[in-house]
Amino acid sequence: MWAGPRNVSTAVMYSFAQRPDTQVVDEPLYGHYLQHSGADHPGRNEILAAMDLDGERVMRELGQRGMQGPRRDVLFVKQMAHHLSGIDYALLETSLNFLLIRDPVEMLPSLARVLDNPQLRDTGLDRQVELLDRLQDFGQTPFCIDARELLIDPERVLTQACARLGIPFFPSMLTWPQGPRAEDGIWAPYWYRNVHRSSGFQPWRAPTNPFPPALDPLLEECRPYYQRLYAEALRAREEA
């Protein structure tokens, strides 16, 4: 799953972790991205010290990974699309890939509460469009899950997603225990507070606060990328 930040990506990871056939991995390229980009994220030094910083080696090992403990049929890897910086896309040819997106009108104010002066690269939207094109060049048929569509009807959207991935939907994917998971990255204290208080997908609600004017230029930069991706998104309701 190639997401952008503040896109309910951790909730989706928690959802897949409830499957009896699935093991999850949380953002294994984060250290690579921070080193490669120089981005100043919360907990940067701690993350760099704890992770393998060779992104292509990380991706190769994920592709070859054997399961530890009880056998699992599905390895679900939560990734941020912008973490692919400097990595050969050919390493994705043998995996099933989908993208998780969110309307920048909703995503950008949330992102700005964690990052000062966010830029397009911090949203991952440009990288997601580039990735979508490359995956299609490989002959894959990637799809997008849109956060709003997911929260309107989690069961319908996840059922469609599982069908596209060739795996069964489990009702257990709709709820999870409150609190952190063992698989959480060490950045969880900075990013995961809301999901740790949750026990399932929260109903979608339209934003009530005015959009911050300072983010208007970035919003306009993001719009065409989001519109391209949303055209590939699963829908919570039947198309008219």
Kindly report, residue by residue over 164-182, the tens digit of the pLDDT: 999 999 999 999 999 999 9
In this prediction, residue 72 carries a pLDDT of: 63
CB burial string 166-176: b at 16+ within 10 A, e below? ebebbeebeeb
In this prediction, residue 47 carries a pLDDT of: 95
In this prediction, residue 69 carries a pLDDT of: 41
Q: Please give the structure tokens belonging to residue 30.
A: 């984060």
Residue 25 is classified by DSSP as E
Q: Which domains does the chain have, with CATH numbers?
A: 2-230 (3.40.50.300)
Pairing type for strands 99-101 and 74-80 reads unpaired
Q: Alpha-carbon distance 207 to 216, whole Å?
A: 16
Compute CA distances 180 → 10, 59, 108, 188, 234, whole Å.
10, 25, 25, 8, 28
- pTM confidence score: 0.92
Regions in the chain scoring below 50 on pLDDT: 66-70, 240
> Residue 12: phi, psi to the nearest 5?
-65, -40
Reported as type and span, the H/E element at residue 77 is: strand 74-80
In this prediction, residue 20 carries a pLDDT of: 95
Q: Alpha-carbon distance 131 to 222, whole Å?
A: 16
In this prediction, residue 15 carries a pLDDT of: 98
In this prediction, residue 202 carries a pLDDT of: 94
